[in-house]
Amino acid sequence: MAELPDIGDSSQTLISPREEKQLGQAFMQSVRQQVTLTSDQDINDYLHKLGQRLANASDNPTSKFTFFMVEDTSINAFAGPGGYIGINTGLMLLARNESELAGVLAHEIAHVTQRHLYRGFEAADRLSLPTVAATIAALLLGAATDPSAGIAAASAIQAGNIQYQINFTRSNEKEADRVGIAILSKAGFDPQGMPDFFQQLQKVNQLYGVAIPEFLSTHPLTLDRIAEAQDRASTIRFTGTDRLPIFELMQVRLRVLSSRTPEKSARFYNAEVAKNPESTRLKYAQSLANYRSNRIEQAISQMRKLLKNSPDNILFRTTLANYYSQSGQHSQAIKLLKNSHRLYVGNTNITTHYAKILLKAGQTDKALKLLHTLMADNRHHSIDLYSLLAETAEASGRSWEARQATAEKYYLQGQTRAAIQQLKSALMSTKLDRITQTRIETRLKELKTESLAKHKF
């Protein structure tokens, strides 16, 4: 990785919360331009819940965190500005249990809560926001996507005199280990998950040779550090289990959905289930693989059996409902999710799946009503959720609401000016009542004020 000049000690001049929020949004905008994020709703919901459970156990549980997954087989995880924490699919597939995956997330959460990212940050008024955000994204993602691109971006920033040092120091890393292990324990995970995963990385590093995992480029790993983490974790008693079905199911879901050869995957899992007929994990993978290779009825039959044996498994419910919907059996899908929605009141994942399937079946008003309730009850308003709301509102003939939702989606992407244009478009509707008009005008004013401040930063 290219060495960037240090820009000075900013531990006494950390950026303001407003600037941090803006930098985080710009960072994520740059990330989305460079890589593909996992769009699978069930995997994203799992990652969000796992990350939030850990964040709630940190020493700053009120901080806002956003967890996301990059579709990349290389092994990487990173904490960006504004509490944005990403992991690569390759890292989740490498983890041997949920505590190892949680250990990585806890380590990244610790980097955020301990403000490591900003200790090399100069006063905000001396930096160009888009350039700094692009720099951080390039350095965190560069080697995982295109090493030469990462170096080129860093060189361009040097030429532009925008200086940033992303590599964490050894003291930063040890502090993140210490704080992360405490988070793991408090959240109910095995604290040995972190040092165990470090040992896994060490083995992988020996196989990689010169091209080390990107995670090790930004998180220097030493034998001394592993030993310290092991010693610290060994002092904490853990009485739970790492063999958690939900992690194993999500891991195998990711593996099957990531396969570029569905037919080969189906043959493999059909053979594995024949050898291990009692394995729920393998039978779930078998059903997914069969569905992806167009063995639709076989996949549906297998998923029905899984759900019959585990009626409280929400993942089995959403998977089967989507099988039904994607094969045109909308009434079956709606029946299953309507029942699930009644049983698991307030479950964001089920409600979102239900709304999507209602929209696909043409029941737009019902879908919109569900989304309104979800948005009112849930603080986690993601880009995907706003996209779904915009699509549903448009299909329901509520174009002004579609513009509002699109504006919020753009805002979360860091595209404040595009969001402003969407709100202006919403205000042109002749169907607005006075309350809605006032709400849009207020939001428009907020974004205009923020946009002016953003471009001064």
What are the CB-based long-range contacts (under 8 Å, 24+) for 423-431? 423/447, 426/399, 426/400, 426/401, 427/400, 429/399, 429/400, 429/403, 431/398, 431/400
- For residue 381, what is the enclosing H or E element? none
Active site residue 365: no
Active site residue 177: yes
Q: Are 364 and 398 in contact (CB under 8 A)?
A: no
Runs of H (alpha helix) within 310-363: 314-326, 330-343, 348-360
Q: Are 131 and 157 in contact (CB under 8 A)?
A: yes
Task: Write the CA distances from 333 to 29, 41, 249, 353, 439, integer angstroms.
Answer: 35, 16, 21, 10, 36
Backbone φ and ψ of 69, nearest 5°: -120, 135
Q: Which of 19, 173, 177, 408 is catalytic?
A: 177
Strand partners, 86: 68, 78
- Return the DSSP state at 121: P
- Token pair for residue 184? 């793991």
Q: Which of 19, 108, 122, 248 is catalytic?
A: 108
Closest CA to 382 of 35, 34, 80, 69: 69
Backbone φ and ψ of 210, nearest 5°: -70, -40
Q: Are 216 and 200 in contact (CB under 8 A)?
A: no
Rounded CA separation 107/93 (Å): 18
Rounded CA separation 68/79 (Å): 11
Q: Are 116 and 176 in contact (CB under 8 A)?
A: yes
Rounded CA separation 65/53 (Å): 11
Strands of 177-223 (E only): list them.
none
Q: Which residues are catalytic?
A: 108, 177
